[in-house]
Amino acid sequence: MTRPIIIDTDPGQDDAVAVCLALAAPDALTVLGITTVAGNVPLALTTINALKTVELCGRTDVPIHAGAAGPLVGEAVTAEHVHGRTGLDGYDLPTPAIAAASSDAVGFLRETLEAHPPGAVTLCCLGPLTNLALLLKRHPDAAARLHSVVLMGGAYFEVGNITPAAEFNIYADPEAAAKVFASGLELTVMPLDVTHQLLLTEARKSALAAIGNRVSDVIDGWVNFFERFDLDKYGADGAPLHDPSVIAYLLQPELFSGRHINVEIECESPLTRGMSVMDWWRVTDRKPNAQVMGSVDADGFYALLCERLGHFGGGR
């Protein structure tokens, strides 16, 4: 039996690789739909990028629903300095021939959750958590039907990447993240502590490029683009590939290990706004609310990614 999932995302090259990985695993995952959110680039672009990605994978049957154009509070924060003006710089894919199914991501989430048995659907969040926070606010009964949420966001030992204290997805909508971490939903978290172990070394990039199908050619273009920024930042071992960790966890959870701990989100302090305060050492009595991953078998992750992307077959 396959596991039904919805991917909530702000593509972003690493988001797009995560979508490709999910669509490369139809024996394990059924992607019921993709909801988009403003994040790496504005909503209009993240939606176009999601459309381009499902077209690339030959999966135009997967509906795309546009969601929140900005955070619950304040102005949208974007990351063109990492992902380029389009969010998918590095390979010029054609303008999509298909269109978004709706601009009501929250309505789609509600309808889909109500159409499936309670506990059936897993939500994979790869961007700011605005859409999920809106679902929790507007349709709490539908949200309670989720099996679980697996999300990329936050950091503890690695602290921050968009500010010294905060990881991008949480910083882009801290109020939404706070709502999600207080929701009581079953949460699994891939923080920077994990994704910074998933470095795209030369050997791993060569293995990806050697797959030799169109999807891997495009991914090769994408990763070569965004790593120019991360290499300056993180050094010569390669740039981290963040969001595919969420899908890899669903496919091979044994690659990851972590702790069930308390996570709170800082929303007040101007200095540390968006910080994920993770009680890794369990030094408080605060109730654990998330399974936070701390380590990953990086070679195993890249072996999985290459093996699955090879399923696309076809020529260049």
Residues acting as catalytic residues: 242
Residue 40 within binding range of ligand BDR, rule CB under 6 A: yes
Count of residues of this chain found to bind ligand BDR when the rule CB under 6 A is applied: 15
Residue 79 within binding range of ligand BDR, rule CB under 6 A: yes
Nearest-angstrom CA–CA distance, 53 and 218: 10
Which residue lies nearer to Ca ion by CB, 15 or 220? 15
Nearest-angstrom CA–CA distance, 89 and 309: 20
Place of tokens 């979508």: 19
Residue 8 within binding range of ligand BDR, rule CB under 6 A: no
Q: Which of 127, 153, 174, 274 binds Ca ion (CB under 5 A)?
A: 127
DSSP 72-108: SSS-----HHHH-SSSSTTS-PPPPSS--SBS-HHHH
Nearest-angstrom CA–CA distance, 45 and 241: 20
Q: 149 near 188, Cβ under 8 Å? A: yes
Tokens describing residue 107: 């309505």
Which residue lies nearer to ligand BDR by CB, 10 or 279? 10
Residue 181 within binding range of ligand BDR, rule CB under 6 A: no
Nearest-angstrom CA–CA distance, 189 and 265: 13
Place of tokens 């070394």: 201
Place of tokens 């920077």: 192
Which residue lies nearer to ligand BDR by CB, 167 or 193? 167
Q: Which of 179, 196, 205, 242 binds ligand BDR (CB under 6 A)?
A: 242
If contact means CB under 5 to 8 A according to the sort of partner, which of Ca ion, ligand BDR, none does residue 79 touch? Answer: ligand BDR
Q: Which of 8, 15, 266, 279 binds Ca ion (CB under 5 A)?
A: 15
Q: Which of 6, 7, 8, 14 binds ligand BDR (CB under 6 A)?
A: 14
**Helices and strands in the chain: count of H runs, count of E runs:** 13, 10
Count of residues of this chain found to bind Ca ion when the rule CB under 5 A is applied: 6
Q: How far is the CB of 49 from Ca ion (least distance, A)?
A: 11
Which residues are paired to 277 by β-bridges?
264
- Contact mark string toward ligand BDR, 94..123, x via CB under 6 A: ------------------------------
Q: Which of 5, 6, 8, 12 binds ligand BDR (CB under 6 A)?
A: 12
Residue 12 within binding range of Ca ion, rule CB under 5 A: yes
Residue 167 within binding range of ligand BDR, rule CB under 6 A: yes
Residue 133 within binding range of Ca ion, rule CB under 5 A: no
**Three-state SS letters, 120-132:** CCEEEECCCCHHH
Q: How far is the CB of 171 from ligand BDR (least distance, A)?
A: 9
Binders of Ca ion among 250-289, rule CB under 5 A? none
* Distance, CA of 77 to chain centre: 16
Residue 230 within binding range of Ca ion, rule CB under 5 A: no
Nearest-angstrom CA–CA distance, 77 and 74: 9
C-alpha neighbours within 13 Å on the C-beta side of residue 52? 25
Q: 101 near 64, Cβ under 8 Å? A: yes
Nearest-angstrom CA–CA distance, 275 and 146: 26
Residue 274 within binding range of ligand BDR, rule CB under 6 A: no
Which residue lies nearer to Ca ion by CB, 12 or 154? 12
Q: Which residues bind ligand BDR (CB under 6 A)?
A: 12, 14-15, 40, 79, 82, 126-127, 152, 161, 167-169, 242-243
Interface ranges with Ca ion (CB under 5 A): 10, 12, 15, 126-127, 243
